[in-house]
Structure 1
Amino acid sequence: MKRVVMTMILGALSLNAVAETPWLVRARAVHIDTADKSDPVAGAGASDRLSVSSRTIPEVDISYFFTQHIAAELVLTYPQKHDVYLDGKSIGTFRHLPPTLLAQYHFLPGAQFDPYVGAGVNWTTFSKNRLLNGAASLEHDSVGLAVQAGVDVKLTGNWSLNLDVKKMRLRSDVLIGGVKASAVRVDPVLLGVGVGYRF
């Protein structure tokens, strides 16, 4: 009987240890809603402005918990393609890769609903600029502040449902012949839903 009780206790401790491991991986579907703002384009009409398309992308996020309340999250995806418009007319595309590192505070770790907030830095690199048949391009990099709020909802075992919203500062000058012709403020809001697994 003692052996059975000890086995049950050790099993419970083992399950608790698994639940308290520091790694959490999430997979999300994220809708990028761009701010769609720019300065007037040099050489064009005063009302002619650039706009960047919104889109939905896959996202993988890796979190490490330093304590029950404090975690760091690395946001990853693959290069994303966006259409660019001038006064509503397509002028080309570009790709961007936007890894983001956030520090998070979790309010109710271990609870059924665990809301959190975060803040950190977004670094975006632009590539494959095909604007105005190659006559225009974007600056190579953008670095800006990122903020976040979300909630993890426990499902079963180590699985959870995740709802998340982020706001990022993402901007770039537009160059024509190496000279600044405009500035684009993408500044997206990212609305995400997905699942997480605590290792």
Structure 2
Amino acid sequence: MIRIVRCAMAALMLGASAVAAFAADLPVAPAPALAPAPALPEAFQPFQVRLRAVGVLPEGGGILQNNATGGFVSGGVKASDAVIPELDVSYFFTKNIAIEAVCCVSYHNLFLKGGTLNGSYIGHTLLFPPTVLLQYHVTTLGAFQPYAGVGVNYTHFFSVHPDGQILNSLSLGDSWGVAGQIGFDYMIDDHWGLNFDVKKLLMNTRVNATVAPGIASVSGNAAISPWLIGAGITYRFGGPASAIVAKY
């Protein structure tokens, strides 16, 4: 009986070994491939603030006439140059399309342009020219990111003071005009960059004045239309911490 049991166990062990050897010779089925994770949309930081030092370089033009006689007085008004701080705020709808609002205030002396009194000082003014621009930003050049914009400018003239020698009253009407812009940012890291920017504002204001010491009046328009050339710093924020150079 013991011998029969022993023989049965030996046969069972030999059978198990043969099955294991046969299984080892079978080809191994490859593991099923995992589906790739869906790509996440690229994130970017939609808000931007810039602070610049800007040179305001007005052009002179237009015409002033004597209201009583229609006689020529001057070829408009020339405003003095100025250097001012400028702040702008941008919002990016996409990595390429943004809207920018620009704000500043500048002080200018005013001079007649052309005529017998060419170059004569006639007063001074402050002007507030808020401007809104729609921009396209190039995003394929790495840290160097040029852009162009077009928009509208509204200019309000205030604290207008005549010189008291040539004019005893002076008023400058508000104006609306087209604005154009080109520039670039050079991004240093995820948030900070350097900026260079050139804008042109079409600015044509209505002029009304009376001549000192009498009551003769003159009127016309002054096409001031300044260039704004500036450089400063850029700061971007509002999105996840990711490489701005790669995203914009």
Question: TM bucket by the smaller chain?
Answer: 0.7 to 0.9
Instruction: Pick closer, same or farther for the CA change 1:30–1:61 going to 2, 3 Å.
Output: same
1:61 is aligned to 2:67: no
Q: Please give the TM-score of this superposition, normalised by the length of structure 1.
A: 0.82
Partner of 1:83: 109
Residues 115-134 of structure 1 show CA distances to partners (whole Å, capped at 9, x for unaligned) of 11000110111111112434
User: How far apart, in 2, do the equivalents of 1:26 and 1:117 lie?
Assistant: 16
Instruction: Pick closer, same or farther for the CA change 1:109–1:21 going to 2, 3 Å.
Output: farther
- Which of 85-94 and 109-118 deviates more? 109-118
User: How far apart, in 2, do the equivalents of 1:180 and 1:155 lie?
Assistant: 54
Q: Is the 8 A contact 2:135 2:150 kept in 1?
A: yes
Instruction: Pick closer, same or farther for the CA change 1:115–1:187 going to 2, 3 Å.
Output: same
Instruction: Pick closer, same or farther for the CA change 1:45–1:57 going to 2, 3 Å.
Output: farther
The structural deviation recorded for 1:110 is 7.7
The structural deviation recorded for 1:100 is 0.4
**Rg (Cα) greater in structure:** 2
The structural deviation recorded for 1:45 is 7.8
Partner of 1:94: 125
**Greater per-residue strand proportion:** 1
Partner of 1:38: 62
The alignment-based identity, stated in percent, is 38
User: How far apart, in 1, do the equivalents of 2:80 and 2:163 lie?
Assistant: 16
* Equivalent position to 1:163, from 178, 186, 196: 196
Partner of 1:113: 144
Partner of 2:223: 185
| Equivalent AA in structure 1 for residue 200 of structure 2 | K
1:196 is aligned to 2:229: no
Give 3-state SS (helix, strand or coil) of 1:108's partner.
Answer: coil
Q: Is the 8 A contact 2:136 2:147 kept in 1?
A: yes
Q: Is the 8 A contact 1:168 1:189 kept in 2?
A: yes
Residues 39-71 of structure 1 show CA distances to partners (whole Å, capped at 9, x for unaligned) of 144379847342111111100010000000000
| Equivalent AA in structure 1 for residue 79 of structure 2 | V
Q: Please give the TM-score of this superposition, normalised by the length of structure 2.
A: 0.67
User: How far apart, in 1, do the equivalents of 2:154 and 2:140 lie?
Assistant: 29
Q: Is the 8 A contact 1:59 1:76 kept in 2?
A: yes
5+ unaligned residues in a row in structure 2: which ranges?
A: 1-39, 113-117, 211-216, 238-248
| Equivalent AA in structure 2 for residue 171 of structure 1 | N
User: How far apart, in 2, do the equivalents of 1:127 and 1:47 lie?
Assistant: 24
Count of residue correspondences: 181
1:51 is aligned to 2:78: yes
User: How far apart, in 2, do the equivalents of 1:26 and 1:153 lie?
Assistant: 12
5+ unaligned residues in a row in structure 1: which ranges?
A: 1-12
Partner of 1:150: 183
Partner of 2:172: 138
Residues 124-149 of structure 1 show CA distances to partners (whole Å, capped at 9, x for unaligned) of 1111111243412111x111100111
